[in-house]
């Protein structure tokens, strides 16, 4: 049995495959693999471990219908035609649960960095700008006691809510299709309409999947409904906000600041205007990028591969 792996993964993954007697090929080249190359390699292998790129449509799965498993090295599966895979009998697995804390910590890091202008002030020192500090200068704002609005209060949103209620006694509003009764009980979270969430939150943090429904969900009109003193955080997917409208909202001071771990497209180009804005902080999609979390994600992905090769149901399945 042979597995094709399209990026370099943590060592735990190679060890697990070797212990199971499974051979593997790893694509270590730059640039990343394109679709045709991925199909070519998949044809010579029994399973595919994919750490992002390329997207996979129904035709991809038709051409690779011999695959016994496709293991995504991510929790998100936007860009993957799950129905197409299911039609061709290919089990798809992801890495749920294990990145909740790391991603919530990333959202928190963005909230703090933006609220205290930390990156802007760091860069000011680098330019020799640490002069005599006045009591009215370099002011950010407290998170303690403020209102956090979570759009998509699932597992990652709940971790963030936990951190923000325990440490800062923040009030939690949320907007979901379905009620999250557990979160209501644990954090006193209140389900509200999108308009109420936007109008009342000091921080709006997005934790929903990218779907046809959430694509472009945050544009100029939504930013206009937020408080001029508020922060917009997105650690979910870049396609959920409209970047040009976000830049316009910041320019017009409709909102106070923005923290992004995800952009559209990725990678963001070095000349993007957001990178020059005082009140914007951008990370290169590092939500799950801790040693511990990436090891755990690899463990889940390889467990999915091994189960698929044995003809068993994947432990972390995405297909219905
Ligand atoms: C995921 O797992 O979906 C995260 O975005 C990390 O890539």
Stretch 108-132: mean pLDDT: 96
| Count of C-beta atoms within a 10 Å radius of residue 82 | 15
Given a contact cutoff of 8 angstroms between Cβ atoms, the answer to whether 300 and 292 are in contact is: no
ipTM, interface predicted TM-score of the complex = 0.94
The contacts of residue 283 (CB under 8 Å, 6+ apart) are 106, 109, 110, 259, 260, 261
Distances (CA, A) of 287 to 99, 117, 184, 235: 8, 20, 25, 7
Cβ 76 under 6 angstroms from ligand 1: yes
Residues 155, 120, single domain; the answer is yes
Overall number of domains in the chain: 2
- For the chain, the C-alpha Rg in angstroms (whole number) is 21
Distances (CA, A) of 296 to 143, 154, 175, 209, 319: 31, 20, 29, 21, 21
Q: 95 alpha carbon to ligand 1 midpoint, in Å?
A: 9
Three-state DSSP at 202 gives coil
Residues 302, 264, single domain; the answer is no
pTM of the shown model? 0.96
- Could you confirm whether 62 is annotated as catalytic? no
Q: In which band, very low, low, confident or very high, does the pLDDT at 161 lie, cut at 50, 70 and 90? A: very high
Question: Strand 92-93's sheet: what is its strand order?
Answer: 23-26, 2-5, 47-50, 69-72, 92-93
Residues 303, 192, single domain; the answer is no
Residues 16, 105, single domain; the answer is no
Cβ 75 under 6 angstroms from ligand 1: yes
CA geometry: angle 145, 146, 150, nearest 5 deg: 125
Given a contact cutoff of 8 angstroms between Cβ atoms, the answer to whether 66 and 41 are in contact is: no
Residues 86, 66, single domain; the answer is yes
Pocket test residue of 7, 73, 75 for ligand 1, highest count of atoms within 8 A of CB: 75
- Could you confirm whether 87 is annotated as catalytic? no
Q: What is the pLDDT of residues 87-112, one digit of tens each?
A: 999 999 999 999 999 999 999 999 99
Instruction: State the CATH number of the domain containing residue 223.
Output: 3.40.50.720
Q: 78 alpha carbon to ligand 1 midpoint, in Å?
A: 10
Nearest to 281, CA basis, from 105, 114, 67, 81: 114
Cβ 74 under 6 angstroms from ligand 1: yes
Q: What is the pLDDT of residues 36-93, one digit of tens each?
A: 999 999 999 999 999 987 899 999 999 999 999 999 999 999 999 999 999 999 999 9
Residues 73, 205, single domain; the answer is no
Q: 77 alpha carbon to ligand 1 midpoint, in Å?
A: 9
- 65 domain residue, yes or no: yes
Residues 94, 110, single domain; the answer is no
Question: According to the model, what pLDDT value does residue 32 have?
Answer: 80
Cβ 238 under 6 angstroms from ligand 1: no
- 320 domain residue, yes or no: no
Backbone torsions φ then ψ of 116, nearest 5 degrees? -105, 10
Ligand 1 atom having least distance to the Cα of 74: 2
Stretch 181-190: mean pLDDT: 97
- 318 domain residue, yes or no: no
Ligand 1 atom having least distance to the Cα of 99: 2
Residues 24, 115, single domain; the answer is no
- 317 domain residue, yes or no: no
- 203 domain residue, yes or no: yes
- 297 domain residue, yes or no: yes
Residues 147, 239, single domain; the answer is yes
Share of the chain above pLDDT 90, in %: 96
The number of angstroms, rounded, from the C-alpha of 286 to the middle of its chain's C-alpha atoms is: 8
- 139 domain residue, yes or no: yes
Give the integer Cα–Cα distance in Å for 261 and 244. 16
- 141 domain residue, yes or no: yes
Residues 148, 227, single domain; the answer is yes
Range of the domain at 37: 2-98+291-309
Mean of the per-residue pLDDT values of the chain: 97
- Could you confirm whether 237 is annotated as catalytic? yes
Backbone torsions φ then ψ of 312, nearest 5 degrees? -100, 165
Residues 10, 120, single domain; the answer is no
Given a contact cutoff of 8 angstroms between Cβ atoms, the answer to whether 10 and 294 are in contact is: yes
Residues 276, 147, single domain; the answer is yes
The contacts of residue 148 (CB under 8 Å, 6+ apart) are 160, 161, 164, 170, 171, 172, 173, 201, 202, 203, 205
């Amino acid at each position: 049995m042979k597995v094709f792996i399209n990026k370099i993964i943590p060592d735990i993954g190679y060890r697990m495959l070797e212990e199971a007697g499974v051979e593997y090929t790893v694509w270590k080249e730059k640039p990343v693999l394109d679709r045709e190359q991925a199909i070519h390699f998949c044809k010579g292998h029994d399973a595919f471990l994919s750490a992002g790129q390329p997207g996979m449509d129904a035709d991809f799965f038709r051409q690779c219908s011999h695959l016994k498993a496709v293991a995504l090295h991510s929790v998100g599966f936007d860009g993957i035609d799950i129905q197409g895979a299911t039609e061709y009998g290919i089990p798809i697995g992801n890495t749920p649960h294990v990145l909740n804390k790391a991603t919530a910590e990333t959202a928190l890091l963005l909230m703090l960095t933006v609220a205290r202008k930390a990156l802007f002030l760091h860069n000011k020192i680098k330019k020799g700008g640490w002069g005599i500090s006045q009591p009215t200068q370099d002011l950010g704002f407290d998170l303690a006691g403020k209102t956090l609005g979570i759009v998509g209060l699932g597992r990652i949103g709940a971790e963030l809510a936990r951190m923000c209620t325990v440490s800062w006694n923040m009030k939690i509003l949320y907007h979901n299709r379905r009620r999250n009764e557990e979160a209501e009980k644990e954090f006193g979270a209140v389900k509200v309409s999108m308009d109420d969430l936007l109008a009342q939150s000091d921080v709006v943090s997005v934790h929903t999947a990218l779907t046809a429904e959430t694509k472009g969900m945050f544009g100029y009109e939504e930013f206009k409904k937020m408080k001029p003193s508020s922060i917009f955080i997105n650690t979910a997917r870049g396609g959920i906000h409209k970047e040009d409208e976000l830049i316009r909202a910041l320019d017009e001071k409709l909102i106070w600041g923005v923290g992004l771990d995800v952009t559209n497209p990725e990678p963001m180009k070095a000349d993007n205007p957001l990178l020059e804005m005082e009140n914007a902080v951008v990370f290169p999609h590092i939500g799950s990028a801790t040693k511990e979390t990436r090891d755990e994600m690899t463990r889940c992905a390889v467990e999915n591969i091994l189960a698929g090769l044995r003809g068993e149901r994947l432990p972390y399945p995405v297909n219905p």
